[in-house]
Structure formats: structure tokens, C-alpha cells
Amino acid sequence: MKSTKLLAIGTLIALSLSATSAMATGDIKKGAKVFKKCKACHTVDQGGKNKIGPNLFGIVGRSAATVEGFKYSKAMKASGLTWDEASLDSFLTKPKKFVKGTKMSFAGVRKEKQRTDLIAYLNTLK
């Protein structure tokens, strides 16, 4: 019985690590190109201004709805999200489905590789 539980825990850890390393394999340069889709609404410079969307500098690891001076939707404020690779991937896939009531009108990034690259790029903004 104990060995079955240990095996299950080991399997979960292995799957978790493989998912994390898969996300970490994005191409930063390609991600910067994908970010061009986001530039109309977001800036990424440290201390950069908010546009239609909030500044994204330091987004990876940050709690959602915490950029000063940006007026977030009630849904985003109530989301309780921390922007890690998994939550960013889900949000960027279909923002309005992941956070129902978000003000973000962007339809999403359909291609998984582009999302992975974009997240790798965003992860460099620290």
C-alpha cells in the first residue's frame, strides 16, 4: 500500500517537472516577435506606462491585478491568480474563457509553441 502511494507521488512529481521543463524550452527571440501582437495594448519596459492593458514588466511570478494605476476588471481583481507559466499559458490561450469577465479583448494565441515562446520572453522581463 505504501509503495503504491510512493509510486503515485513519484509519478506526479515527474509529470510536474516535465511540464515545467517543457514550458521552459521556449525561444526568447521568437517570443519577442510574438509579443508584437501585444504591443498595441501593453508595454514591457521597467516602469513603463500602462496602455489599454497594464505594463507587463515582471509579470511572471506577480499576482494578477497589481500594477499600480491600471483599472482592472472586477473578474481579474477577484481571480486570485499568480502569473506563472501555467496560468499565463491558460490565459493566453483564451483570455475570456480563463478569466470570465476580463476586459482583455484579445482572442488569444492559438499555437502552443507561440505561447511557450511568448512566456519565455515574458520570463526575461525582471
pLDDT band at 2 (very low <50, low <70, confident <90, very high): low
Count of domains forming the chain: 1
Where do runs of H (alpha helix) occur along the chain?
2-23, 28-34, 74-78, 85-93, 95-98, 112-122
CA distance 13 to 15: 5
Q: Give the structural domain span for 79.
A: 2-122
CATH number for 44: 1.10.760.10
CA-atom Rg of the chain in angstroms:
16
* pLDDT single digits (tens) 58-109: 999 999 999 999 999 999 999 999 999 999 999 999 999 999 999 999 999 9
Grid cell, residue 4, equals 503504491
Is residue 5 predicted with pLDDT exceeding 70? Answer: no
Q: What is the pTM of this model?
A: 0.80
**Residue tagged 499568480 (cell numbers):** 82
